[in-house]
Amino acid sequence: MSRYSRQELFAPIGPEGQQRIRDSRVLLVGCGALGTHLAEFCVRTGVGELTIVDRDIVETSNLQRQSLFDEQDVADALPKAEAARRKLELVNSDVSVQAEVADFNFLNAEKLVGHTTLILDATDNFEA
């Protein structure tokens, strides 16, 4: 059985839909509580490429709600995007995961969006 057999057996997805998921490129802006769950979901479903954009560092107060991070990430003062990338590569090595330690703004938006299939907004404030 393939990793995605359950998705492929689900008629609305099927093998063709799974291939579309594999061919997709997702840009995730924000890797906090919502973002960590979205990132993990994307990787587990088999997207082809995931780019995570977040400038924050993992803090102790994040650990109770941001599922991809642990105490070692705090001790190492890892940026959230990088800590998430490291964990996600262990979940599914077939997915290309990139970490962008930056704000998403008008200066880098065109570069980051590129040939993106889907943009997920997981920011935690209106200013972002």
Render pLDDT for 4-57 as a digit per residue (tens, 0 to 9): 999 999 999 999 999 999 999 999 999 999 999 999 999 999 999 999 999 999
Residue 125's pLDDT band, with cuts at 50, 70 and 90, is confident
Render pLDDT for 20-35 as a digit per residue (tens, 0 to 9): 999 999 999 999 999 9
Render pLDDT for 77-94 as a digit per residue (tens, 0 to 9): 999 999 999 999 999 999
Question: Which residues are within 8 A (CB) of 12 and not within 5 positions of it... i.e. 6 or more apart?
Answer: none
Question: Which residues are within 8 A (CB) of 41 and not within 5 positions of it... i.e. 6 or more apart?
Answer: none
- Tell me what the mean pLDDT of segment 93-114 comes to: 95
CA distance readout (Å), 118 to 17, 94, 108: 15, 19, 17
| Helix 80-91 vs helix 33-45: crossing angle, to nearest 10 | 30
